[in-house]
Structure 1
Amino acid sequence: MFANKVVLITGASSGIGADTAIEFAKLDAKLVVTGRNKDNLEKTAKECELQSPSKLTPLSVVGDVDKEADIERLIKETIDHFGQLDVLVNNAGIMGMGSIENTSLEQYDSIMNTNVRGPYYLTMLATPHLVKSKGNIVNVSSIAGLRSFPGVLAYCTSKAAMDQFTRCVALELAGKGVRVNAVNPGVIATNIRLRVGVSEADYAAYLEKCKETHALGRTGTTLEVANTIIFLASDAASNITGISIPVDGGRHAMCPR
């Protein structure tokens, strides 16, 4: 399905990004994986090589989407190494807790830089190559881009921006044969909340509560999100562009709780 296709995935050192890379590897994609954690990124790359039918070695690029130079280097190394780009998965993202009363500008800037500005610049640099290959883009947004939640203001704002970015770029590039879509995960069991200071006990309680707020009665898995990303990136979705698909167990349809 993705043989001879070059797929670039940001935030591939853990969580959704890592599992998405591995699933693409199973389909024989030529992978570019990037993330900030070198050790974890190497683990992802090694697993991708093991899972690849052709035992393809991913191009592993340590970098931060917060940094313009890293983004520029990422695109350069991708094209220098593979000569093309067919799929861009803007997955890297961070979360932060806080309301309008206590979210600092520093936190706002950090979240917006990683979740919006970085993908914006990376997409800008990737676009000429995607136009050439008639490729596509999948952005990893969040249910927080579609629904309003208190206490995660900057994060919700960033993901709403990502959904609008998806729709606008989809319209801009449709005439050039490039599709742009987004996935909007609900609560997925990853370490994203633990990284922002939520205790393991509180996180466990939160996941238990999610059984009541998700229509299917459970949280999602990284594999479920990865499979949706792969669908959107594939020819099976050739007539789909400009959409945001909730992968959230029905959370978007539930009454607020």
Structure 2
Amino acid sequence: MPVAVITGASSGIGRAAAILFARNRYQLSLTGRNEAALKEVAGECVKAGLPENDVIITSTELTSEEAPKKIIDATLGKFNRIDTLINSAGILRAGAVLDSDISVYDELFDVNVKTIIRLTKTALPHLIKSKGTIVNVSSINGPCPFPNVTYYCMSKAALDQFTKCLALEMAPNGVRVNSVNPGVTVTNLHRRAGQDEATYAAFLEKSKTTHALGRPGDVKEVAEAILFLASEKSSFTTGQLLRVDGGRGIMHPR
């Protein structure tokens, strides 16, 4: 059975990916900050048909110095290999540049870029051994600009460039590197960024007009794209930014 490391597995897209990978017979190393939520997701993976012995959890703060080694060592200690790394953890912060302290920029780049680079570097020797795959969870905000989330857009653009450059570096080793770039997807991301329930409901309602398909996305739809890019079904695909965005990235006012 292939082994997948999934960050941000305690909620949202990472959680949906964990459950889908469980259904597809991956052994799982799940990580996130919320240990109780991770245990709940691990239970969902078992319900999806994965033997209890085939899923482990590592509760850690990804920005901590010891996190990459802790996650990779736990995975290798249990499964002795890594076949795919899913970098799903990320945060959103909103606000105009004029009103945003540079600390907002620092926080977004620490979590959305630096933690991914550090964990990926730690996993790479083992992915080279298995000729494995990496899937980064980016955003339509990477290729497309939006006001009042400038630093977030910049962090995702940096992640997209990391995906493409690393794909070129790793291609001779047989390691494929891709990303998914979701549009608005129903998760807790925006609530955690400070939106109250009324604001978030209005945001989702507006998404019906800003996405060509007339609705926001579901985490399960993004998870399916992640599985495709992680698996042999995408064996001749690398360095791609797969937009799972309901057409959001091609919408223009007229």
* TM-score bucket (shorter structure): over 0.9
| One-letter identity of the residue aligned with 1:63 | T
The equivalent residue for 1:159 is 156
The equivalent residue for 2:4 is 7
* Corresponding residue to 1:207 among 204, 208, 216: 204
TM-score, with structure 1 as normaliser: 0.96
* Corresponding residue to 1:109 among 86, 106, 116: 106
The reply to whether residue 250 of structure 1 matches residue 244 of structure 2 is no
* Corresponding residue to 1:144 among 112, 123, 141: 141
The equivalent residue for 2:29 is 32
| One-letter identity of the residue aligned with 2:139 | S
Aligned-partner Cα distance in 2 for 1:216–1:48: 30
1:176-255 paired onto structure 2 within 5 Å = 176-255=173-252
Aligned-partner Cα distance in 2 for 1:95–1:113: 12
The question of whether the paired residues in 2 share the 8 Å contact of 1:188 and 1:220 is answered with: yes
Point out where structure 1 has 5 or more consecutive residues left out of the alignment. none
TM-score, with structure 2 as normaliser: 0.98
The question of whether the paired residues in 2 share the 8 Å contact of 1:17 and 1:91 is answered with: yes
The equivalent residue for 2:66 is 69
| One-letter identity of the residue aligned with 2:161 | Q
Structure 1 moving runs of 4+ over 4 Å: 53-56
The reply to whether residue 50 of structure 1 matches residue 59 of structure 2 is no
Aligned-partner Cα distance in 2 for 1:165–1:210: 28
Aligned-partner Cα distance in 1 for 2:159–2:88: 11
Point out where structure 2 has 5 or more consecutive residues left out of the alignment. none
Report the secondary structure of 2:212's partner residue: coil
Aligned-partner Cα distance in 2 for 1:211–1:80: 46
Shift of 1:50: 1.6
The question of whether the paired residues in 2 share the 8 Å contact of 1:183 and 1:246 is answered with: yes
The reply to whether residue 84 of structure 1 matches residue 81 of structure 2 is yes
| One-letter identity of the residue aligned with 2:5 | L
Per-residue CA shift, 1:9-42, capped at 9, x if unaligned?
A: 0000001000100000001110000000111111
| One-letter identity of the residue aligned with 1:75 | I
- Give me the identity figure in percent: 48
